[in-house]
Structure 1
Amino acid sequence: MNREEIINYSANSECAALIIRHSIREKITDAKDSFYQLLTPEGKQYAVDKKNLWHL
C-alpha cells in the first residue's frame, strides 16, 4: 500500500485529512503484516496499515 493508496483508502474516514497532511516516514514489515510510519510536522508519530491508524 503506497501513500496514494493510503489516501484513497482513508478518503471516507476520520483519518483522511490527517494522512493527506503527513508524509510517510518509512514502511515497516513484520512477520504478519506491513504498515507505514507517519511523522507529522509537529513530531507526532502514527502508523497505518490497511485497516487502522495508530498514534505511536
Structure 2
Amino acid sequence: MIREFFSELKDENYFKQVKPLFIGISWPNQQDFSADTIEHEMHSVEETVDNAKRN
C-alpha cells in the first residue's frame, strides 16, 4: 500500500511540485517526508555506498 501511495513521485513533473511543509517536504496529494525520514534515508544511502566501496 505504501508503494502505491508514493508511486506518483516517480513522475518527474509531479515530483517537481514539492513544497516545504513545517520540518519536511510535501506534494499535492498529501505525500510527505519528515526531516527525520529524509535524514534516515540519507544515512542508509551513505552506508550502502561505503559498504560497496569496501567490497
Check whether TM > 0.5.
Answer: no
Greater helix fraction, Structure 1 or Structure 2: 2
Looking at both structures, which has the greater relative contact order when contacts are Cα pairs under 8 Å and sequence separation is at least 6? 1
TM-score scaled by length of structure 1:
0.29
TM-score normalized with structure 2 length: 0.29
Larger radius of gyration between Structure 1 and Structure 2: 2
